[in-house]
A and B are shown apart, each in its own frame.
Chain A
Amino acid sequence: AQTVTQSQPEMSVQEAETVTLSCTYDTSESDYYLFWYKQPPSRQMILVIRQEAYKQQNATENRFSVNFQKAAKSFSLKISDSQLGDAAMYFCAYRSAYNNNDMRFGAGTRLTVKP
Chain B
Amino acid sequence: NAGVTQTPKFRILKIGQSMTLQCTQDMNHNYMYWYRQDPGMGLKLIYYSVGAGITDKGEVPNGYNVSRSTTEDFPLRLELAAPSQTSVYFCASSQPERGGLGTQYFGPGTRLLVL
Which positions in A face B, CB cutoff 8 Å? Answer: 4, 9, 33, 35, 37, 42-47, 50, 52, 91, 93, 97, 100-108
Contact = CB atoms under 8 A, between A and B. Distances in A.
A110 to B, nearest CB: 10
A44 B106 contact: yes
A70 B41 CA distance: 25
- Chain B, interface size category, equals 20 to 34
Given A101-B31, A107-B40, A45 B100 contact: no
Given A35-B103, A52-B101, A100-B102, A44 B108 contact: yes
Contacts of A43: 88, 108-109, 111
A32 to B, nearest CB: 10
B35 to A, nearest CB: 8
B58 to A, nearest CB: 7
A91 B101 contact: no
Contact of B96 (A47, A91, A100, A106): A100
B33 A101 contact: yes
A47 B105 CA distance: 8
A102 B59 CA distance: 8
